[in-house]
Structures are given as C-alpha cells and as structure tokens.
Amino acid sequence: MDIHCWIQLDNGTIFDPTPIANQQSIFLIRGIDDDKRFYSPYSNDNLRKATKDVFAMIKHVHTISQNSGTSKDQYHNGIRFNHYSEPSNCIMNCFHWLLDDKGKGKMIIGKMDWKTKSGNIWWEFG
C-alpha cells in the first residue's frame, strides 16, 4: 500500500505525527535539502481504494495484536506512549491520535514528499 496519512485539523492546518524512517538516506538519494513536506490528498477512485485498504490495515493490525495477547487498549496506549509518532506507521499514528482527540480533525489519505534541489517534488509516499 503506497500511501501516506496525516491529520487535517478543523482550522485547515496539517498535523503529521509520523517521522519518516531513513529520511536522511532518502534526502541524499533524491537530492533533497529542505525538510518541508508537501501533501496531496487522494480523490475519487484512488481515495476509495486507499480508504478500503486503510480500514483493512487497521483491522489486520488489531487482529494480529490481539492474537499475540495485546488488547486494542494496550496497543492504543503503546501508540499514545510513543506520542503517535512511530516511524513509518502513519495509518495507526493518525487513527489512534483521532481516537484521543475526537472532533478536532480528520485523517487524510494521499501522497507526501519533499521538493528536490531541481524544484521537482518527488512523491516518495503515495
């Protein structure tokens, strides 16, 4: 699943709790020198498919956790303990942040990346 999730707060501000694993390596390979992120939400068919995949992933992660003896609450508390910022776990970070801050935003599914030195945006995620 090639997506990225973030939270759009009610005032329109983007809140992205997820750090990117190996970010410095990506910057070196892609020629990126500014860590400002660019976001592009999915729409239409891409959004429908991605939403279906995201909900399947949430269910799958919770099932695996429960099968290993970890309840949904324990898993949620682990995400909370890590400040909703487990690297490369954007789906669960955003989902659990919204569980704690209901009504303060919505999860957005789409693409995220940075601008390269040549001025192009390289969509690493999505």
pTM of model > 0.85? no
Find the mean pLDDT for residues 106-120.
92
Q: Where are the domains of the chain?
A: 4-118
Six-digit token pair at 5?
């999730």
Over residues 56-77, the pLDDT tens digits come to 988 888 888 888 888 878 888 8
Residue with tokens 């729409």: 43
Cα Rg of the chain, angstroms = 15
Rounded to whole angstroms, the Cα distance separating 122 from 6 reads 18
Over residues 8-60, the pLDDT tens digits come to 999 999 999 998 888 888 889 888 988 899 999 999 999 999 999 999 988 88
Instruction: Check residues 80 and 13 and name the one with the higher pLDDT.
Output: 13
Rounded to whole angstroms, the Cα distance separating 10 from 19 reads 22
In which band, very low, low, confident or very high, does the pLDDT at 102 lie, cut at 50, 70 and 90?
low
Six-digit token pair at 50?
């991605």
